[in-house]
Structure 1
Amino acid sequence: MKRVAFIFPGQGSQEVGMGKALFETYDEVKELFEQADDQLGVSLTKLMFEGPQEELTKTEHAQPALLVNSAAIVSLLKKEGIEPVMTAGHSLGEYSALVASGSLQPLEAAALVQKRGQLMEHAYPTGKGAMAAVLGLEQDAIQEVLDKIEGEIVDLANINCPGQIVISGSKEGVEKASDLLKDAGAKRVLPLNVSGPFHSRLMKPASEDFSKALQEAELSDAAIPVYANVTAEAVQDKEMIEELLVEQLYSPVRFQEILEKFVDQDIDAIVEVGHGKVLSGLVRKVKRRMKTFNIQDPETLQAFIDWYKEDS
């Protein structure tokens, strides 16, 4: 039997049209999408299939939409007898990873990330926070620059792969940092189209409220290792999972380290489960020869199933 790891995309991978072909092809996908619409009190399916993109991109919509889409694909794979030996997700994607591990049920997870999105959206005044991708500069060099900025908060937010790190903080702080980082040798510093300073200390107020929502949710121990964003270590204990999900809101996503640990293990492929191919690209930057798949529609699903079942 082949050994595969599942990874799950986070916010930014949403796109109008996502999940539509799966919805039209598989009854279980349609059922899950419709149940999520009822539970969340918003027509996610309409937003996902028709947009507008600006509405789908709102944090409180994008997060449950991406999660439900990924969870639906997981259920289709499970039906084929395909389960991962380890899993991880990028930021929001960690919740999809927890669904795949059996720690969270899909509808419970969808309600949690809707709440998470609402809290993140309102944790800091709109337009006052910012994020930017720093290309071509290593983590230590970036941190050195951020340490020099006074009077503003700017933190490392996503450590994605060699030469691609995201910073987050107040708008003025990120602008100051961007100029200093270019002077320090960054090839490019690209502002991101986001609504807040995610994964920075400015998200601490959201984490306190979110902790209460998590305590009311029904988490179970994970059946397989889930690599946490905060520590880049495997976790299965439900209390530890809960604690790390709270910290995740204001801590950097250590995705490069997670991928480095994945490629060092005895696995046959890393599979990006959900819309887009962002994470598959990060895998190739960490280890070019690692076999990767992306599953986001019936064609890519079948291609993966065919490969998985070859000679097994």
Structure 2
Amino acid sequence: MKRIAFVFPGQGSQEVGMGKSFYDQYESVREQFAKADDRLGVSLSQYMLEGPEETLTKTEHAQPALLLLSTSIVQLLKDEGIKPELVAGHSLGEYSAHVAAGTMSQEEALSLVQKRGQLMEEAVPAGQGSMAAVLGLDVETIERVTSAIRDEGEVVEVANYNCPGQIVISGSKEGVDEACVRLKEEGAKRALPLNVSGPFHSRLMKPASEQFESELKGVSLKEAEVPVVANVTAKPVQDKDQIFDSLVEQLYSPVRFEETIRYMMDQDIDAFVEVGNGKVLSGLIRKVNRRMKTFNIQDPESLEAFLEWYKED
């Protein structure tokens, strides 16, 4: 039997029309979309299928939308008897991974990430926080420059270790702007401000994490049926207490995605399956190891292509 790992995309992978082909083809998906609308008290399925884009892109909508599609596809894979060896997600995607691992229900996760999105939006006043992607510069230089800026009194730190040559920084607008200038002087190919609503995965999210902790206490976490490789440590978690701590810390800690992928590759994985909208993670995985086999499942055609490979002798 082939050994596979599921990975789940995070915020930024949303787009109007996501999931429409699954919605049209599968009654089970239509049922899950309708239940999500009822659970959240918003027309989430309408935002996903029809837009408008500015409504779908709001953090409190984008996060449950991405989770809903990913976990609806997971159910289709389960119906086919597919079970991964390991699961992981990128930031928000870690919640889809936990649903896939059985640590929380889809319904609980939807409410949780809706609240998570609201708290992240509210943590820092609009325009005061920022994030930027730094391309073509080594980690050591980025950490040295951001550390120097912190010593001068501004907040800026690494938010995502995505893949070789792609690091995301986060912090105050002034701190990120200054870091972009200095990192270009240090040889970065590009330092691009991101279109996000806050300084995610930075210490400025600590107040949000404290409020989020009380929300998470209301979820009946279970032991993971398959290991979830946590963003915070790039190590597998299965114990309920470990899972709780890792999800609280994740809000203000960097996403160690490259380390996560390297760990999973070391577990003799035959292929990574990106479950949900887009191909962002598949691209990052190939930058870690271009020979690694990847699939992305975001419509019935890509689901069939994966199943055909998985079931062939």
TM-score normalized with structure 2 length: 0.99
User: Is 1:92 matched up with 2:89?
Assistant: no
Matches within 5 A, 1:20-59: 20-59=20-59
Q: Secondary structure at the match of 2:134?
A: strand
Q: Which amino acid aligns with 2:89?
A: G
Q: 2:72, 2:126 → 1: CA distance?
A: 32
Instruction: Provide the residue aligned with 2:137 in structure 1.
Output: 137
Match of 1:276 in 2: 278
Read off the aligned partner of 2:130 and give its amino acid letter: A
Matches within 5 A, 1:267-306: 267-306=269-308
Q: What one-letter code is carried by the residue in structure 2 that aligns with 1:142?
A: I
CA deviation digits over 1:257-311, x for unaligned, max 9?
A: 0011112221211000000000000110001111100000010011111111111
1:216 match: secondary structure: coil
Aligned equivalents of 1:145 and 1:54: distance in 2? Answer: 34
Give the 5 Å matches for 1:170-209: 170-209=172-211
Match of 1:230 among 226, 229, 232: 232
Match of 1:108 in 2: 108
What residue is the counterpart of 1:62 in the other structure? Answer: 62
CA contact (8 A) 1:133 1:164 kept: yes
Distance 1:67 1:158 in 2: 20
Partner Cα distance (2:27, 2:70) in 1:
15
- Structure 2 gap ranges (5+): none
Tell me how far 1:134 sits from its aligned partner.
Answer: 0.2
Q: How many residues align?
A: 311
Instruction: State the alpha-carbon separation in 2 of the partners of residues 303 and 159 from structure 1.
Output: 30
Amino acid of the structure 2 residue aligned with 1:2: K
Query: For the residues of structure 2 that align with 1:200 and 1:117, how far apart are their CA atoms?
Result: 15
CA deviation vs aligned residue, 1:114-164 (integer Å, no higher than 9, x gap): 000000000000111100000011111101001111121001000000000
Match of 1:246 in 2: 248
Equivalent residue, structure 2, for 1:124: 124
Note if 1:148 corresponds to 2:148. yes
Give how far 1:17 is off: 0.3
Cα distance per residue 1:214-260 (max 9 Å; x no partner)? 00111101011100000000000011101110000000000000011
1:193-220 superposed Cα distances (whole Å, 9 cap, x missing partner): 0000000000000000000000011110
CA contact (8 A) 1:263 1:287 kept: no
Q: Could you say which residue in structure 1 is the equivalent of 2:80?
A: 80
Poorly superposed stretches of 4+, deviation over 4 Å? none
Could you list the per-position Cα deviations for residues 80-110 of structure 1 after superposition, in whole angstroms to 9, with x for gaps in the alignment?
0001110100000000000110111101101
How many angstroms apart in 1 are the aligned matches of 2:83 and 2:110? 21
Q: What is the rounded CA distance, in whole Å, between the counterparts of 2:170 and 2:52 in structure 1?
A: 26
Q: Percent identity?
A: 68
Letter in 2 for 1:265: Q
Q: What is the RMSD of the two structures over their aligned residues, measured on CA atoms?
A: 0.6
8 A Cα contact 2:147 2:157, kept in partner: no
- Letter aligned with residue 280 of structure 2: V
Q: TM-score, normalised by structure 1?
A: 0.99
1:66 deviation in Å? 0.2
Q: Partners in 1 of 2:251 and 2:260 — Cα distance?
A: 17
Q: Distance in 2 between matches of 1:207 and 1:146?
A: 23
Per-residue Cα deviation, 1:24-68 (whole angstroms, up to 9, x for no partner):
101111111110000000011110011111111110000000000
For 1:85 and 1:308, the matched residues in 2 are separated by: 14
Q: Is the 8 A contact 2:4 2:270 kept in 1?
A: yes
Name the SS for the 2:6 alignment partner: strand
Letter in 1 for 2:13: S
Q: What is the CA–CA distance in structure 1 between the aligned matches of 2:112 and 2:263, rounded to whole Å?
A: 28
Q: Which residue of structure 2 aligns with residue 308 of structure 1? A: 310
Secondary structure of the residue aligned to 1:141 is helix
Return the letter of the residue paired with 1:202.
Answer: L
One-letter code of the match for 1:201?
R
Partner SS state of residue 103, structure 1: coil
Letter in 2 for 1:63: Q
